[in-house]
A = this chain, B = another copy of it.
């Protein structure tokens, strides 16, 4: 039986916190999904990651701020962004209901 699943199943949104699950992990590669229910990065907080991240918004809606860009990005289903390592970014807003579902690929730069 090969590893398999459905992105929309078995991961409940939590109004108290983002919920993240790793689907596959290999050296230099981690594939996962995240459910956001209105969560956003704290004011002034920026992600500053050692790995590249490919983000795909599967369901819901979100607003992403990327350092050096003058305009926030509004992400809708099917939108993807590739965030190179050390490119600082933050999640300004996520849709709570229905919740926002992300598919993410972290990989070595």
Interfacial residues, chain A to chain B (CB-CB below 8 A): 1-9, 23-24, 26, 28-29, 31, 52, 54, 56, 58, 66, 69, 73, 76-84, 87, 103, 105, 107, 109
Contacts and interface: CB of A to CB of B under 8 A. Distances in A.
16 contacts: A1-B69, A3-B81, A3-B82, A4-B73, A5-B79, A6-B79, A7-B78, A7-B79, A8-B78, A23-B82, A24-B82, A26-B107, A28-B28, A29-B107, A58-B78, A103-B103
Number of this chain's copies in the assembly equals: 2
Contact of A105 (B2, B52, B105, B109): B105
A98 B98 CA distance: 25
B58 A2 contact: no
B66 A2 contact: yes
Contacts of A29: 29, 107
Contacts of A82: 2-4, 23-24
Contacts of A87: 2
